[in-house]
Amino acid sequence: MKFSTHIEKILKTSSLHILLAALLIIPAIASCSESANSNNATKTVHIPGQRIVDYETARKVFWRELYNKGGMTLYCGDTLHSGYNKGVNIEHVFPASWMAYDLRCGKRKQCRESSAEFNRIEADLHNLYPSRSDVNKARSNYRFTIIPGEQRVFGQCDFEFDEKHRIAEPSPAARGRIARAMLYMSDQHDLYLKRKLESLLIAWDKKYPPEQAEHRRNDRIEQIQGNRNPFIDIHRN
């Protein structure tokens, strides 16, 4: 039945029937609304397709829903199991300390306590990747760049860092994913990127296009969080 025909039939119904229907429907709607408000007052439930409000929620969703079937670490390409992975942390590709500085809400702990915006930004799954704990610690909040030479301290893992100059160089395999995560964060949350770093990330994005695993991850995050990373999607055109 066409939508317009359906409307015409409703209009031909007697006013009494309409009034009776309204009297039956309105209490039911009110009851549902009261029940929903009551449930929301007692607990916060994560519903797929809705944004995640804080990092603690994101951390649970990350392992239980996003990487529940395994995957690979960002910097080293180590295979993840579907359950607990010893020695693996969650990496904020766009550092949380940079977010805190940009929002002027204090240190990370202070921002978590005082800024709903910080909590929402820190919890964005598009910026979160699994990382070996030792590499995650070495990266800290260092700026990505190209470091002359090949001084590797993590064995086969192609990740270099310079503690003195606070810089880090990821492997070519990770550069595209890093670029698209950081460009997304800057664009989505209006976070500042230095021009030199932004230019490097744009170059990495072009040189290292996403593989199918990155597209699948983007699809899954949309289901969980409710939005996509357009810097990944643009490569499908």
The backbone torsions φ and ψ at residue 162, rounded to the nearest 5 degrees and listed phi first, read -125, 105
Q: Are 140 and 162 in contact (CB under 8 A)?
A: no
Residue 18 has pLDDT above 70, yes or no: no
Long-range contacts of 187-190 (CB under 8 A, 24+ apart): 187/230, 187/231, 188/124, 188/126, 188/227, 189/99, 189/121, 189/124
Task: Give the Cα separation of 137 and 131 in Å (integer).
Answer: 9
- CB neighbourhood size of 3 (10 A): 6
pLDDT at residue 82 in the model: 80
pTM over 0.85: no
* Higher-scoring residue by pLDDT: 151, 8: 151
For residue 137, the 8-state DSSP code is: H
The predicted-structure confidence for 213-229, as pLDDT tens digits, reads as follows: 999 999 999 999 999 99
Q: Domain extents for the chain?
A: 3-42, 55-236
